Structure 1
Amino acid sequence: MSATQTPAKPRRPKPVISGRTSLSEHVTVKIFVLAPLVAMAVAVPFAWGWGLSWLDIGLGALFFVLSGLGVTIGYHRLFTHGSFKAKRPLRIALAIAGNFAAQGPVTTWVADHRRHHAFSDRAGDPHSPWLFGTGPRALAKGFWHAHMGWLFDREITNAERFAPDLLNDRDIRTVDRLFPVWVAASFLLPGILGGLITWSVWGGVTALFWAGFVRVGLLHHVTWSVNSICHMIGERPFTSRDKAANFWPLAILSFGESWHNLHHADPTCARHGVLRGQIDISARLIWLFEKLGWATNVRWPTPARLDRITVAH
């Protein structure tokens, strides 16, 4: 460096927050959150008065699996953590399937979750249950905040800092732009299928209710429970810098996401349930994608990889 040159100023990291949600965005979030909740609240009297058919259950299960795996395999393990690489058609399909869960566009979801890992259970974490203290009232407030409260009054995570790769991905930008279309399809397709299969308007109405609204509400609570319950109670066989824990009752419904302790100890690992008897449906499907040649560079929990994780005793 010559005497006339001045040293370059160090770059400041981009801010964590890029702003606050607008009124229209705030209303939209409330609709996506509250409408399925209302459906779940009236599910029992609805079933008592008008019944629940096997077709409704079948369509609900189909779309629950489709949208749930879109979140766990697509939004979470692929786009957030890069646990594997996927061929372009699979990437796009997983992104659309994740949109069917009505939990936000890919880039928004990923930015929030990467921020969660960057500040897990500390100031800056968008949905930690431990931000208000450890007393009973503080934990009750923290549980509500982590489970769903953070969705109603929250800052916008800076995607330029936490998800620049997705902002530069043309395919994902297109999928994100069509988020309202995918959500509408997620609700309407079960209703259309129910109406066509039963050849009745009522068959479409019940399918829309059960496989649309109730299914989305149930999936929302499963996802939110990983944020709340799995950071409060459960087993912690591996050490991590936060309170992430395994909660086995959610293992099936969450497609393996509730083996949360290993995930926070080794976030990029493609399999979360690494111990004996831990069922991880998402990992099994990634394994199938790999066998079919649709997924590559899968970060499996090899013995050498697990040796790098300190086991708690």
Structure 2
Amino acid sequence: MPTPPDVIDDPSTPPTSSTPPGADGAPLPSATLGGDSKGSIEQIALLLFIVVPFAALLAAVPLAWVWGGVSWLDLGLMVAMYYIGCHGITIGFHRYFTHGSFKAKRPLRILLAVAGSLAVEGPLVRWVADHRKHHKYSDADGDPHSPWRFGETLPALMKGLWWAHIGWLFDEEQTPQHTYAPDLIKDPAIRAVSRQFALWTVVSLAIPPLVGGLVTMSWWGAFTAFFWGSLVRVALLHHVTWSINSICHAVGKRPFKSRDRSGNVWWLAVLSCGESWHNLHHADPTSARHGVLRGQLDSSARIIRWFELLGWASDVRWPSASRLDTRRKSAPAKA
């Protein structure tokens, strides 16, 4: 992949550090079990958390036919848990922890860390470190998950799309968390949430069957709630999130200037909670709103606005008209 002439992020992006751990005192503690490397047990667990929910997603339609459809309870649990985890990722892991799009009071900061962990997408600090590295080298050498990694021919792009979607998760080369997320590692509460990823995974998977079983007072109700609210929900959310890495860096409209191939994919907007308006995000990474044009739904930005009105969030980086104009490919005509 060609390296762009400029790989420096927006200066308002949360700072990273190239200072080796321990250079200014004691080494920073690890924020994930196993540190920066993935051991064999973690690799097996990752494979299971990809394969099992995906198998459930594939089986959802035929099993729904056999069972006579999906109950409103199961559907409600699936949708509720989906959007709790999705907004935990988009608002918490992404816009807040990775890019500092707003400031959050301490309770909201911890709540966002937990909500994002319920999406079962990996420990918070590792997620943030990977994404900050992605922005530093977006679609160039060093990007952890660019679909253009292997070239621009059709076979190379097909291989690259697979890599960007899932393959990179098993890459042995890991992002150094002390380099890309030292600010999070230094926060004891956030470091604890990140290290407790296995616990939050169990909680996330246990809530639907617990609610389903108690409401229906049956083991069958618990099982169907687990199938839809846990397995199918996790698989759908995973593939929507991974599609931002793969699809949104291969296709889509690009009305704003960015040094990569990020595009807007409208049909993913609702399921991705506004993340698929990806071109603006890479043109202005710290913006709290990604869907900035007329008709671009962005539920994450709406919720951030509610947090702001409630006094839970402050210093929100809302996009201004002048800021957007400087990033458009063609400046709007003057009146």
1:272 counterpart (290, 295, 318) = 290
Question: Who is 1:43 aligned against?
Answer: 60
User: Following superposition of structure 1 onto structure 2, how do residues 214-293 of structure 1 map, counting pairs within 5 Å?
Assistant: 214-293=232-311
Asked if the contact 2:36/2:177 (under 8 Å) is kept, the reply is no
Question: Who is 2:45 aligned against?
Answer: 28
User: Following superposition of structure 1 onto structure 2, how do residues 142-157 of structure 1 map, counting pairs within 5 Å?
Assistant: 142-157=160-175
Asked if the contact 1:257/1:280 (under 8 Å) is kept, the reply is yes
Question: Who is 1:304 aligned against?
Answer: 322
User: Following superposition of structure 1 onto structure 2, how do residues 1-313 of structure 1 map, counting pairs within 5 Å?
Assistant: 20-50=37-67, 51-312=69-330
Q: How many Å separate the matches in 2 of 1:288 and 1:187?
A: 28
Q: CA deviation at 1:306?
A: 1.8
Q: How many Å separate the matches in 2 of 1:96 and 1:302?
A: 31
* TM, length-normalised to structure 1: 0.93
Q: CA deviation at 1:305?
A: 2.2
For the residue of structure 2 that corresponds to 1:49, the secondary structure is: helix
Could you report, residue by residue, the CA deviation over 1:79-104 in whole angstroms, capped at 9, with x for unpaired residues? 00000011111111111111111100
Q: CA deviation at 1:19?
A: 5.8
Q: CA deviation at 1:193?
A: 0.2
Q: CA deviation at 1:20?
A: 4.2
Q: How many Å separate the matches in 1 of 2:205 and 2:63?
A: 18
Question: Who is 1:8 aligned against?
Answer: none
Q: CA deviation at 1:307?
A: 3.2
Asked if the contact 1:21/1:155 (under 8 Å) is kept, the reply is no
Question: Who is 1:7 aligned against?
Answer: none
Question: Structure 2 unaligned runs (5+)?
Answer: 1-16, 22-34
Asked if the contact 2:255/2:328 (under 8 Å) is kept, the reply is no
Partner amino acid, structure 2, of 1:55? L
Could you report, residue by residue, the CA deviation over 1:60-94 in whole angstroms, capped at 9, with x for unpaired residues? 00000100000000000000000001111111111
Partner amino acid, structure 1, of 2:198? P
Give aligned pairs, total: 301
For the residue of structure 2 that corresponds to 1:216, the secondary structure is: helix
For the residue of structure 2 that corresponds to 1:207, the secondary structure is: helix
Could you report, residue by residue, the CA deviation over 1:25-80 in whole angstroms, capped at 9, with x for unpaired residues? 21121122222111112212221222411110001000001000000000000000
Q: CA deviation at 1:171?
A: 1.1
For the residue of structure 2 that corresponds to 1:269, the secondary structure is: coil
Q: CA deviation at 1:212?
A: 0.2
Does the C-alpha gap of structure 1 residues 12 and 148 become closer, same or farther in structure 2, counting only changes over 3 Å? closer
For the residue of structure 1 that corresponds to 2:174, the secondary structure is: strand
Asked if the contact 1:247/1:258 (under 8 Å) is kept, the reply is yes
Q: How many Å separate the matches in 1 of 2:72 and 2:18?
A: 57
Q: Between 143-152 and 301-310, report the one with greater CA deviation.
A: 301-310
Q: How many Å separate the matches in 1 of 2:20 and 2:149?
A: 23
Q: How many Å separate the matches in 2 of 1:12 and 1:92?
A: 26
For the residue of structure 2 that corresponds to 1:90, the secondary structure is: helix
Partner amino acid, structure 2, of 1:49? V
Q: How many Å separate the matches in 1 of 2:216 and 2:139?
A: 49
Question: Structure 1 unaligned runs (5+)?
Answer: 1-10
Identity among equivalent pairs (%): 57
Does the C-alpha gap of structure 1 residues 12 and 162 become closer, same or farther in structure 2, counting only changes over 3 Å? closer
Q: How many Å separate the matches in 1 of 2:153 and 2:174?
A: 29
Q: How many Å separate the matches in 2 of 1:154 and 1:120?
A: 19
For the residue of structure 1 that corresponds to 2:121, the secondary structure is: coil
Asked if the contact 1:239/1:312 (under 8 Å) is kept, the reply is no
Does the C-alpha gap of structure 1 residues 123 and 278 become closer, same or farther in structure 2, counting only changes over 3 Å? same
Does the C-alpha gap of structure 1 residues 49 and 108 become closer, same or farther in structure 2, counting only changes over 3 Å? same
For the residue of structure 2 that corresponds to 1:121, the secondary structure is: coil
* TM, length-normalised to structure 2: 0.87
Q: How many Å separate the matches in 2 of 1:86 and 1:12?
A: 26
